[in-house]
Amino acid sequence: MDRLIGKIALVTGAAQGIGLAVAQAFASEGAVVFAGDVQTGKEAEGIKPVRLDVSSSDDWQSVVAEIIATHGRIDVLVNNAGIVACYEPVHGTDIESWQRVLAVNLTGSFLGMQAVLPFMRRAKQGSIINFSSIWGNVGVPGAAAYNAAKGGVRNMTKNAAVTYAPENVRVNSVHPGLIRTPLVEAQSDDMNGGIIASTPMGRMGTPHEVAAGCVFLASDEASFVTGSELVIDGGYLAQ
């Protein structure tokens, strides 16, 4: 289990759910993982929790400076942190909710890339994995802010991929469907049931199934993969 051996990685939203599964999977494959979150995570072998509010430029600069001071480089960034916060359509979304959802889901990924890119470009190598969603590809009634943010992540990823490909910095997006996480479990049974009913595989995915895809994108096995969308959704978008 050494697909990421020696790599230095930063994973956001890593205190629970998909982010925690990604951090654990990376560590099990030999990476040194900094697990960023606004919540206090648990330290484990290969995983160091760090406080990181992804909507704060100061937090990003502080965390990345710590990683560079300790290890001299950063090889992988996983921009996983995200919130829904508001399930309303455009006409029912207040500006505060709109701004908060975009600040975490879209601006957070932007700030993360800005923070690590100088070091990846200097090293002429790096892998950035941005979390979009199936709702970054297609519309869903309500959740206008989340739809907008995840659609923005999708195209921002492609922009970065073509911009930094000549410097061997790869940027890809991951598009999960309904995954069994605390965020999803807080949604109504009717909402989750409707998505499951529209999913050909007829079930939720697990965080570990998503983490497995991230291990590939972070590894040297994906050395010719950039600007791609890794869809992990049980067939939802195939319809």
User: Any idea which residues carry the catalytic annotation?
Assistant: 146
Query: Using CA atoms, how far apart are residues 235 and 82, in angstroms rounded to an integer?
Result: 22
Q: Residue 19: what residue type?
A: G
Query: Using CA atoms, how far apart are residues 149 and 127, in angstroms rounded to an integer?
Result: 21
β partners of residue 11: 35, 78
In the numeric block, which tokens belong to residue 106?
């879209």
CB atoms inside a 10 Å sphere around CB 113: 21
* Residue found under tokens 């999960």: 176
Q: Cite the DSSP H helix spans in 103-173.
A: 108-123, 144-164
Query: Using CA atoms, how far apart are residues 125 and 183, in angstroms rounded to an integer?
Result: 33
* Chain CA centroid to CA 156, Å: 13
Pairing of strands 8-12, 76-79: parallel
